[in-house]
Every structure is written in C-alpha cells, then in structure tokens.
Amino acid sequence: MPAKLEGRKMILDERKIIASICRESFFEFVKEFWPVIVAEPLDLNWHLEFLCRELQTVAERVFHNETRKYDLIVNIPPGMSKSTIVSQLFPAWVWTRLPSARFICVSYAATIAVKDSLKTRDLVESEPYKTCFPGLELREDVNTKGLFENSHKGFRLAAGVLGAITGRHGHFLLVDDPLNPEQAYSEAELKTVNRWMRTTLPSRRMPKHVAPIILIQQRLSIMDPTGEMVARYAKKPGSLRHICLPGELTEDVSPPEIRKNYVNGLLDPRRLSREVLDGLKGELGLYGYTSQILQSPVPSEGGMFEVKKLNIAQEAPRIVRRCRSWDKAATEGGGKYSTGIEIGMDEQNRTWILNMERGQWSVTKRERVMRETAERDGLAVPILIEIEPGSGGKESGETSVRNLRGFRVLLIRPTGEKETRAYGLASQVGAGNVFVLNRGWTEDFVEELRYFPNGKFSDQVDAASQGFNYLAKKRSKVGGLW
C-alpha cells in the first residue's frame, strides 16, 4: 500500500477509535471536541466530569426509550462552562447516539439561545466531527441560526423564555438561565417565567413519559424557577434530582457526597480562587454573591434586613405614637395576604411592632376585620391604607374609608420600589432599634424580613415600612419625641 494511502487509513482508523470512545462517554467527547468551538484551552476541574456524567445518566434513558426517573436541576455559578457543556456540546454528543433526537433549548433571551445554537451548529459542521461521525448532515432547507435539522429528522430549536415553541416537541427540554439578574428583582417577571416553566414547557415533551426537563441556572431569587420547581416537585418524591454546586463549600452542596471534591473549601480553585471570590463579593454585593455564587438566594447573615439584630420582647414600654398600617389583598384562601400592622415609637425613639392582623380574606371579610381591628385600637390610632394606582385602587380605598367612617383614615399612594420604601425600617433594624413583641405571628414576620425582597410574600414588610415612614415624618412637638 502506498505510504500516502496507508497514512490516510491510519488517520481514519484513529478517528474510528476516537468516535467509539466519544460515543460511549460524554466527558471524553467534551475533551476531544472542546477546541473545535472554544478558543481557550479546556481547564479541567472535577465539576466538569461530574456534570457530564449526570447529563449522560439522564440521556441514556432517552436512548433506550425508558421512562424518565427524574427531571434535573443544576445550580452553579456563572463562568463555570455550564452553557458550553449543556447547551452547546451536549446536543451534538446526543446525536452521535440518537441522531433523531429533538432539542428545545431555552434561555432568558433569544439572542443568548441563538448564540449557543450557533456553537452547536459550528461543531456539527466541523471537519473533525464529520470525520468521526459520517452520515450525519444538516439539511440545507432547515438550517438557520435558531433552528437546524439533521438528515435523521433530529433538530435543535433555540428560543427565549416565552418565545414561540408551539408545534414543536422535544426529546430533551434544555433551559439555561431562564432569568437574568435584573428580572429576578421583578415579582411580575418571576411569576411570568415560572408560569411558562410550569404550564408551557412540560407540554413540549416527546414522548411525555420519557423526555426530561434539564434546568441549569445560577440562583437569583428564592422563588426563581429552581425554587418554584423544587417546591412543586416536593409533592412527588424522587421526581426531581437537584444538584447544587456553590462556589464555596456550604451546607447547600448537593448531593452531600461531592463535598469531598471541594479543594480548600472551593469549587474550583483556579476559576474561583479566594482572590476572585473576594472581588466578586465587592462587585455583586451581598444579595448577588450569596445568590449567584453561593446558590443561596437568602444571605445567611440576613439580607436587606439584618434580622439577627431584631429585639424580641415580651411586653412593650410606653408607646408615645402609633398607627395601624394596612396592605390589602382580596383573595380568600390563597394568593396574597391582607396585613394590618400596629407599629409604634417609644420615648427613646425606638420602633415597636406591636400587633399583626393577617389573612387571605375575601373583600367582605377583610373589610369586617379592618373595622373590628379599628374598634379595638381606638380612635387615637390613625389608619394607613395603601392604594394601588388606577381606578381599581381608588375604588378599593374609598370602600375602606366608608367602612371605617368615624376613624382617621389616610390613603397612601406608594411611590418607588418596595426596596426603596423599606430602606428606613431596614436601617433601624440594622442599628438594633426595632423591637418585636413575641406573639404567635412573630416568627412569620421575622422570616419575611429575612427573605425580603426575594421572598414569596412582602405584605408584612410593605405594611411595616409604610407605618414606619409615616411615624418617622410626624415628630411630636412635645419634648422632641416621635
């Protein structure tokens, strides 16, 4: 055999061996094809092999058309190659085993999803990939940035959350960071994304009993898609595998057996060294660091409210000024709470949380409770009621004013973000100047402060902040007291 042909045969034989190894191991595939789409050399850390193994475990059941054991969530800090592994390399590897596999790949923005799509397409169309896996070609008539199909009817569709995926079904539903950090501070954005994840995405499974949802994200809020899925799947034990890889060793590392892989308490001493982490603490702030790096959206030291500095008391001293502050809702048995907090100032200008009326009431019951509470408080206690913008809020406020005739009622139109309105009260908590009576409602109140502004509810914080801000602006002319 001529030397040239013999050399070509050796290359082809070598490629066959590489192809065989890569088909059997996603991690080996990643190591082999990383340079094809990533300019920087592969920086191997234990979490990469672990992540590849977890993804392959899920994929093997799809290859054999077996009923899925669970959906998969992976929480990991940014900059740890998660998108390269999950959104870019994983679909290309699956096609080496199941060329007909269909992928729906979602991110918080269509532009981000398309960027990952292009990387997968570049890989599949590369010479090394074609040499190792001949016979898998992309169709010329279905080959766009956001959607391309191969010669075996497998496809990869890229979309932003809430984007058009109607009419498409996938063997794999990949969700890579469905929220960006800015969206996480919007309750409306959180609800919209969670609703889409809960109602739209699962209906795209094919087959329904086989196709997994794989969510990989940095944590941003206690009720982000991870938090919502964990709470929802809790009703079906074993139906969700939740992997958590914080940048530092914490109690949240999951599964617990991988704690031993952390080196000097670090997930990745090269990417996330102590020096890098210290810099991120300054750049991201307390919320950002604990959420995005530690994967714990509630800071262990307390968030906006340093709850460890709250004073819990059995009885209050002489209160020289007080008010009853209401944050209203109108859903019976579910949804948001209506909350009326009695808040006061003592002779030393310290703030006291004195009483709480809270429930998920209908409009009729809410108004009855508000009237009964006002009668107990007495005529000397002004009543503050927050009203929402628009005609509905105005009418709701007028209804309460009529219901509370004979009492001093102030309708307050809130301005600015909830966090801004809570700054004054939060600063007093941090200074150790806020006292809370130890009653049946105390624990719930403290927990809401701990989670704010990322918690599920904010009615108690809203009502307390409103009452504090009112009292703080109304100084008594007697002795300079509040």
9 with 130, same domain: the answer is yes
* pLDDT classification of 281: cutoffs 50, 70, 90: confident
Q: 384 vs 340, 344, 365, 379, CA distance in Å?
A: 9, 13, 18, 13
Omega before residue 207 within 30° of 0, cis: yes
356 with 246, same domain: the answer is no
Tens-place pLDDT, residues 46-69 = 999 999 999 999 999 999 999 999
- Nearest alpha carbon to residue 50 among 292, 241, 250, 289: 241
62 with 107, same domain: the answer is yes
Q: Is residue 479 part of a domain?
A: no
The CATH number of the domain where 378 resides is what? Answer: 3.30.420.280
78 with 124, same domain: the answer is yes
289 with 315, same domain: the answer is no
> What is the maximum alpha-carbon separation in the chain?
109
Q: Does the pLDDT at position 479 exceed 60?
A: no
Cβ atoms of 421 and 353 within 8 Å: the answer is no
Across the strands, what pairs with 324? 342, 383
65 with 180, same domain: the answer is yes
Q: Is residue 458 part of a domain?
A: yes
Last residue of a domain, one of 254, 271, 293: 293
The CATH number of the domain where 269 resides is what? Answer: 3.40.50.300
128 with 267, same domain: the answer is yes
126 with 206, same domain: the answer is yes
279 with 352, same domain: the answer is no
Amino acid at residue number 7: G
Last residue of a domain, one of 263, 293, 323: 293
Q: Is residue 298 part of a domain?
A: no
Tens-place pLDDT, residues 331-370 = 665 568 999 999 999 999 999 999 999 999 999 999 999 9
Q: Which domain holds residue 39?
A: 3-293
Residue 410, both tokens: 């102030």
276 with 364, same domain: the answer is no
Provide the domain count of the chain: 2
| pTM of the predicted model as reported, rounded to 2 decimal places | 0.69
Tens-place pLDDT, residues 188-236 = 888 899 999 999 999 999 999 999 999 999 998 878 999 999 989 988 9
Cβ atoms of 65 and 210 within 8 Å: the answer is yes
266 with 389, same domain: the answer is no
226 with 101, same domain: the answer is yes
Q: Is residue 481 part of a domain?
A: no
Q: Is residue 119 part of a domain?
A: yes
* pLDDT classification of 478: cutoffs 50, 70, 90: very low
